Structure 1
Amino acid sequence: MNAMDVMMRRWRLDTESSVPPFEQIRLRILDLASAGDLAVGTKLPSVRSLATDLGVAANTVARAYRELEQAGVVVTAGRSGTAIASGGDVIAAQVASAAEAFAAVVRDLGMPAAQALRIVTAALDRS
C-alpha cells in the first residue's frame, strides 16, 4: 500500500470544520507518522498529486508539508520529494510530556477526567 492509500484510508477533509484544510492535512500526516502507519523513509505524494486528490490548492498542501518539515516530521529533498523523517518520535515525546503535565494539573485540582477531556477537545477544535 502506498503513502497516498494510507493517508486517504477512511479519511477526508472536513469542509465543515473550523480547522483549516492545511492543518487537517498536517495533523493527518502527523498522526500516521506517530502511529507508525507511515514509516520512516516513506515517500509522501507530491504536493500537486495530494492537492488534486483532496480538491484543494497546491499551496494548501505545500503549507502542511512546510510546517511538518519545520517540526522535523518530514524531510524534503528537492525533486526527490518529501518523506517521513525519524523526527516523528520526538514530536510524540513532546506531546506525551505535555499530556503528563496537563494530567498532573487535572489530578492536583481534582477535576474529573471526563471534564478535562472535554476542555482539551474544545481547545483542539478551536486551534
Structure 2
Amino acid sequence: MDYDDQLERALEETPDIDAGGDRFDVPDPDIRQEGKLTVYENFQATVDRLNREEDHVMQFLQNELGTSGHIDESGRARLKGDFREVRIQDALEDYVEGYVTCSECGLPDTVFEREDGVLRIRCEACGARSSTGV
C-alpha cells in the first residue's frame, strides 16, 4: 500500500468534526450582588459546559479578578467584591482560550492529563498536546 492509499484510507476513517462556532457556547454568567459579594448563579452550569473541574475554574477566576471566594453547596461561585457580568465574561473567555480550546485546531474537545508531573491539555479531536502553564 503506497502513501496515497494510506492517506486516503486515513481520511475515510477520520470522523467528521463540525468546526462551526455555534457548536460550543458557554452560558453567559448570571451575576447578582449580595452585599459585598458577587454571586455567580450559574457557575456549575458553566463548569459543566467547559468540562473542567470547578476548583480549577474558580481558582482562575479568583486570580483574574484579584479576589477570593468559594463555591457554595448549591454550586454557585461567591466572589468577594463587586464584579459586573462583562468582567466575569471576559475572564471566562480567557479561560476558554487558555484551557479549553485546542491551540492547534481551535476545537473545545480537550481534556487535562498529567504527564511527568506536568499538567497538559490533550485535544481529542486532533491529538495535539500543549502545556497549560499551571
TM over 0.5: no
Give the alignment's TM-score, normalised by structure 2: 0.26
Give the alignment's TM-score, normalised by structure 1: 0.27
- The structure with more helix, counted as a fraction of residues: 1
- The structure with more strand, counted as a fraction of residues: 2
